[in-house]
Structure 1
């Protein structure tokens, strides 16, 4: 992407009234930053357009100056060039396919490192910042096992579980992706600056926030939806009640992802969130063998047939529709997720994830409160 396109992206991102959701829709309509920049706002196909947005856009295009006094576009551009960051838009071919499927994919992603790492099979590992010694050990052991098996470990670059997972994957010679709640040029927390550089060399750093954006509280939930959105599964190592890790797990379920977690004593307050997840149907992970078994099932699943660990996939790799157990259980009628849980013996989280996959593939559709075959 050339410098002028980067400048235009930064200017558009700073335009008041042009929310991320509206920018996403416009990029899909016009096919890219430059086409959108040259477009007539009268042709914008948006459900609702703030009255002053078209006029503000035309002023922005004429002035080429950021309308947001907090940001200087030329300084932002210099920061991107200095750290050799790339910009991916939601219509680019190398934008991660799984992330593109979530309800609110980020229209822009700033990336340092290996962009291809974003499209490899990923396992998201999250947990407490103030993690216990046992939790840190478990995060490292499970991350190492996943990395050796060929999975990229994705997390939020935070202290505690995130940092332990990132480091273990890198030390095992694997790849890791750090999702940031700041601009791409600044690593937060600062003590993870060296870890951030290691991720650039052996994976990637990504963010949806423009250069100059700091770690504001409202940025972290948005970061977390990207962490879960990049991966078909999220492993929650340790989580209290309430916690950001539980929010990430909830977002993962909404996105149709698998959720794994560890068992904890009822007397360990830091593990109360994990026990809650197990009660609600998360897959139980007691060690690397359990984790690798679950990941092997994911790697064979047709929901993620655009990649396989250790190779590429084709249409011939996909199991025939009649072999899917949920399709067999649905039969010629309709069934709710709860009925399928009873009939299949699978956890609710796994049934919901599989139903989301079948819906994306066009093999089932919603029928009232249930699902029917297409």
Structure 2
């Protein structure tokens, strides 16, 4: 984006009487920042627009500055340019389609890192800031497996579960997206500055908040709707009652996204929120394979990178039939495989594979461990 276009976007965002929803509507109507900047405000026809909006925009365009702006636009511009951030508008063709579909999609996104990741299938992982050891371990392990399967792991860069999820995805050689509650030029919390640098190198940082914005309490619910809006679904690893993670789960449901939760003991206070979600219909997952199986059943499907474990058939071909042996057992051979791998190599529908595996497990012919199956 040209520097002058970026300056115009910052000035438009600084108009106090122009709401994010109105700005998104105008960007779509006029084809972007420059088209909107050159438009006639008398033709905007916005619902519930302030009577002085057209006049204020005229003054803004003539003077190049907004006297009511919270921040100095030139300083904001310097901040964006110095950290090599990019601005995406809701009218841009490379704006993430998944996010564009939500009702209150942000009109502007400031980004650092690989913005192409925003258009890849994502799964959000959220949870407690003061997370238990088991929750941190689960977040990292789930994130790693999801990343190896080809999903981008999205979270909110907070301490606890968020940070563990980001690190787990990166450690697995995958990618992660962090949604921030501050301006793009600062990493919050400060303890995550090294993680932020890793995400810029191997992932993406994004925020809807203008440069200079501080981590105000009201920013976090707005951040959470972007976390869920980018993703196919949200996994709540650990959550107390009440908690910000439950707010994210609520926005996910409002957006038509899937919600999953880990089952905790009733004696674990930090898991009460997850148990509440499960009671209300969230998907119960105990290992990454459960989650991947659920994602594969979503409308439109998800193209996952397989295999996740040792391939059941190193030749890559179809199973060699063994007389009297179930084809899935023949595929397993002496190795281990997930249900998704067996779907890939057998050509059978997932539902049929899962049904056969259950029957074989009950018959004592296969055993399941850590989400993978092997011959008993």
Distance in 2 separating the partners of 1:310 and 1:46: 45
Shift, 1:69, TM fit: 4.9
Map of 1:87 onto structure 2: 87
1:154-182 CA-to-partner distances (Å, cap 9, x unmatched) read 00000000000000100000000000000
Tell me, yes or no, if the aligned pair for 2:14 and 2:69 is still in contact at 8 Å: no
Map of 1:250 onto structure 2: 250
2:298 is equivalent to residue 308 of structure 1: no
Shift, 1:104, TM fit: 0.3
Stretch of structure 1 that moved more, 39-48 or 7-16: 39-48
Map of 1:270 onto structure 2: 270
Map of 2:152 onto structure 1: 152
Shift, 1:291, TM fit: 1.7
Distance in 1 separating the partners of 2:206 and 2:170: 17
Distance in 1 separating the partners of 2:126 and 2:193: 19
Question: Secondary structure in 1 aligned to 2:28?
Answer: helix
Distance in 1 separating the partners of 2:288 and 2:243: 25
Shift, 1:288, TM fit: 1.9
2:45 is equivalent to residue 45 of structure 1: yes
Question: Secondary structure in 2 aligned to 1:272?
Answer: helix
Shift, 1:309, TM fit: 3.8
Distance in 1 separating the partners of 2:278 and 2:271: 11
1:324-353 CA-to-partner distances (Å, cap 9, x unmatched) read xxxxxxxxxxxxxxxxxxxxxxxxxxxxxx
1:279-329 CA-to-partner distances (Å, cap 9, x unmatched) read 01100011122122122223xx22x6xx73459xxxxxxxxxxxxxxxxxx
Shift, 1:47, TM fit: 1.4
Question: Secondary structure in 2 aligned to 1:92?
Answer: coil
Map of 2:21 onto structure 1: 21
Distance in 1 separating the partners of 2:304 and 2:114: 17
Matched residue count: 306
Stretch of structure 1 that moved more, 67-76 or 133-142: 67-76
2:55 is equivalent to residue 60 of structure 1: no
Map of 1:200 onto structure 2: 200
Map of 2:121 onto structure 1: 121
Map of 1:289 onto structure 2: 289
Tell me, yes or no, if the aligned pair for 1:15 and 1:67 is still in contact at 8 Å: no
Distance in 2 separating the partners of 1:270 and 1:158: 17
Structure 1 runs, 4 residues or longer, greater than 6 Å off: none
Map of 1:2 onto structure 2: 2
Query: RMSD between aligned alpha carbons?
Result: 1.3
Question: Secondary structure in 2 aligned to 1:109?
Answer: strand
Question: Secondary structure in 2 aligned to 1:21?
Answer: helix
1:1-39 CA-to-partner distances (Å, cap 9, x unmatched) read 100000000000001100101101111111100011111
Shift, 1:70, TM fit: 3.1
Structure 1 residue runs without a partner (length 5+): 312-374
Stretch of structure 1 that moved more, 209-218 or 41-50: 41-50
Map of 1:360 onto structure 2: none
Distance in 2 separating the partners of 1:212 and 1:123: 29
Structure 2 residue runs without a partner (length 5+): 307-376
Map of 1:228 onto structure 2: 228
Distance in 1 separating the partners of 2:67 and 2:297: 49
Question: Secondary structure in 1 aligned to 2:267?
Answer: coil
Distance in 2 separating the partners of 1:42 and 1:69: 22
Distance in 2 separating the partners of 1:253 and 1:80: 33
Question: Secondary structure in 2 aligned to 1:177?
Answer: strand
Shift, 1:68, TM fit: 3.4
Distance in 1 separating the partners of 2:9 and 2:70: 16
Question: Secondary structure in 2 aligned to 1:111?
Answer: strand
Question: Secondary structure in 1 aligned to 2:102?
Answer: coil
Tell me, yes or no, if the aligned pair for 2:15 and 2:69 is still in contact at 8 Å: no
Map of 1:189 onto structure 2: 189
TM-score, length-scaled by structure 2: 0.80
2:110 is equivalent to residue 110 of structure 1: yes
Map of 1:370 onto structure 2: none
Tell me, yes or no, if the aligned pair for 1:152 and 1:177 is still in contact at 8 Å: yes
Map of 2:179 onto structure 1: 179
Shift, 1:46, TM fit: 1.1
Question: Secondary structure in 1 aligned to 2:297?
Answer: helix
Tell me, yes or no, if the aligned pair for 2:14 and 2:70 is still in contact at 8 Å: no
